[in-house]
Amino acid sequence: MTAPIVHVPVLLQEVLENLPVPPAGRVLDLTLGLGGHAQAILAQAEPSLRYLGVDRDPHARALSKKRLGGDARLTIMAGAYEGVWEDTAFQAWCHLQAPEGFDVVLMDLGISTLHLKDVARGFSFMEAGPLDMRMDPEHGLTALEWIQEQSEENLANAIYEYGEERASRPISRAILKALAENRLHTTQDLAAAVYTVIPREPAKRKGHSDPATRTFQAIRIAVNGELQGLSEAIEKAVFALKPGGRIGVISFHSLEDRIVKQTLRRLAGIHDGPGRTPPSTLPKHLRLIYGGGIAPTEDEIRANPPSRSARLRIGERLLDDSPRVP
Ligand SMILES: C[S@@+](CC[C@H](N)C(=O)[O-])C[C@H]1O[C@@H](n2cnc3c(N)ncnc32)[C@H](O)[C@@H]1O
């Protein structure tokens, strides 16, 4: 029997303290995952609370349903945070259950332990898995199909931009060479192509992260379109809050965090233009709580190393007459 997959919710205490949910509150969790944050929020809440959990991954939804599905306060819905706003079932739920808007919206971005531990999903190179990497395995191109469509330049650009990998060009060449020679089938084949450019052993000896990590991150971000639509989704989430309601977004790498930070600052009326910042004429929909965001404590990083790069940014919706979504 295989052990159940457990995802340790990141920055949990900080989420509970800084995204307070009133007893009869309304919560929108746009990345339900395995329901770790959901379970903790529900444990503190009253029977009249309503919690809508959305996730694009059917496996994550099935596991969180198994874990929390008996809780009548929780509704689990399929969807992606960039598109769920147009879903009629989502709109109907919001109008019926949260007509005044949400007290809390949570977005805990990226992948979960489920993705990394389930070799068949193709996110990990610790064991040989299929080159898939889709968070929603029912839609879109697999990582292998995506690579097959790339020119050397496009692949290098993606590895550079989404992986912040300096050796993006030779790595792109090595991956496409392996593909042409029919040597690119598994996640370990992809990692092996990276090691032909950056050998694994010296990095390991120096305690650096595996040289394939940045390339895997890049291809995963490209395959899942992780950065497209993030800013718009955060904006919609802010407009789905009640006045005084709070949004919390947890990001795991600098590219994501930059988008989260810039979006929240813009919605807070802060002008981030180049050169001398002109007085802002941007409308102010939010108040930022902790401008620099919240990072995990040393204790959390020790107990749960994947939390290392997490950052929680929070904004509080102001009283204004800007549009309500959905
Ligand atoms: C870090 S995990 C969330 C973990 C969750 N907070 C918990 O404590 O169990 C991120 C989840 O977001 C989902 N996800 C990623 N991108 C998404 C998107 N665009 N729309 C909806 N869900 C998404 C992933 O499938 C994954 O289950």
Ligand 1 — pocket residues by CB below 6 A?
Answer: 7, 9, 30-31, 33-37, 54-57, 60, 80-82, 108, 110, 112, 135
**Cα–Cα dist 159/7, whole Å:** 27
What residue owns the CA closest to ligand 1's atom 3?
Answer: 33
Provide mean pLDDT across the span 163-185.
97
DSSP 220-274: HHHHHT-STTHHHHHHHHHHTEEEEEEEEEEE-SHHHHHHHHHHHHHHTT----S
**Cα–Cα dist 326/320, whole Å:** 16
Count Cα atoms within 13 angstroms, Cβ side, for 96.
10
DSSP 108-163: E-S--HHHHH-GGGS--SSS--BS---SSTTSS--HHHHHHT--HHHHHHHHHHHH
More confident residue, 281 or 17: 17
CA of 27 to the centre of ligand 1 (A): 15
Ligand 1 atom nearest to 82, measured from its CA: 19
Tokens of 271: 């002008």
Return the best residue to mutate from 55, 221, 224 for the ligand 1 pocket (most ligand atoms within 8 A of CB): 55
CA of 57 to the centre of ligand 1 (A): 8
CA of 32 to the centre of ligand 1 (A): 6
pLDDT grade for 278, boundaries at 50, 70 and 90: low
The dihedrals phi and psi of 101, each to the nearest 5 degrees, come to 105, 180
Of all residues in the chain, the percent with pLDDT exceeding 90 is 82
Ligand 1 atom nearest to 229, measured from its CA: 19
Provide mean pLDDT across the span 279-307.
90
Range with the poorest average pLDDT among 17-26, 87-96, 179-188, 203-212: 203-212
What integer pLDDT is reported at residue 2 of this predicted model?
Answer: 57
Q: What is the pLDDT of residues 213-254, one digit of tens each?
A: 999 999 999 999 999 999 999 999 999 999 999 999 999 999
Level-2 CATH architecture, domain 12-110+227-317:
3-Layer(aba) Sandwich (3.40)
What integer pLDDT is reported at residue 195 of this predicted model?
Answer: 97
**Cα–Cα dist 279/152, whole Å:** 44
Angular region, 164: left φ>0, alpha ψ -120 to 50, beta rest: left
CB 56 within 8 A of CB 140: no
Superfamily of domain 124-224 in CATH is Putative methyltransferase TM0872, insert domain (1.10.150.170)
pLDDT above 50: residue 1: no
What integer pLDDT is reported at residue 282 of this predicted model?
Answer: 79
What residue owns the CA closest to ligand 1's atom 8?
Answer: 36
Range with the poorest average pLDDT among 152-156, 174-178, 322-326: 322-326
What residue owns the CA closest to ligand 1's atom 24?
Answer: 111
**Cα–Cα dist 56/54, whole Å:** 7
CA of 120 to the centre of ligand 1 (A): 18
Domain boundaries, the chain: 12-110+227-317, 124-224
The residue among 275, 326, 303 whose CA lies nearest residue 77 is 326
Count Cα atoms within 13 angstroms, Cβ side, for 56.
22
CB 247 within 8 A of CB 238: yes
More confident residue, 211 or 7: 211
More confident residue, 142 or 275: 142
Provide mean pLDDT across the span 160-183.
97
pLDDT grade for 3, boundaries at 50, 70 and 90: low
Range with the poorest average pLDDT among 23-32, 87-96, 102-111, 115-124: 115-124
| Average pLDDT score over the chain | 93
Ligand 1 atom nearest to 230, measured from its CA: 19
**Cα–Cα dist 53/326, whole Å:** 16
pLDDT above 70: residue 15: yes
Of all residues in the chain, the percent with pLDDT exceeding 70 is 95
What integer pLDDT is reported at residue 69 of this predicted model?
Answer: 81
**Cα–Cα dist 115/123, whole Å:** 6
Q: What is the pLDDT of residues 65-83, one digit of tens each?
A: 999 988 999 999 999 999 9
CA of 321 to the centre of ligand 1 (A): 31
Q: What is the pLDDT of residues 253-267, one digit of tens each?
A: 999 999 999 999 999
CA of 188 to the centre of ligand 1 (A): 25
Measured CA distances, 234 to 83, 151, 156, 184 (Å): 12, 32, 29, 37
What residue owns the CA closest to ligand 1's atom 5?
Answer: 33
What integer pLDDT is reported at residue 283 of this predicted model?
Answer: 85
- Does the bond joining 326 to the residue before it have cis omega, within 30 degrees of 0? yes
Provide mean pLDDT across the span 97-122.
93
Provide mean pLDDT across the span 167-194.
98
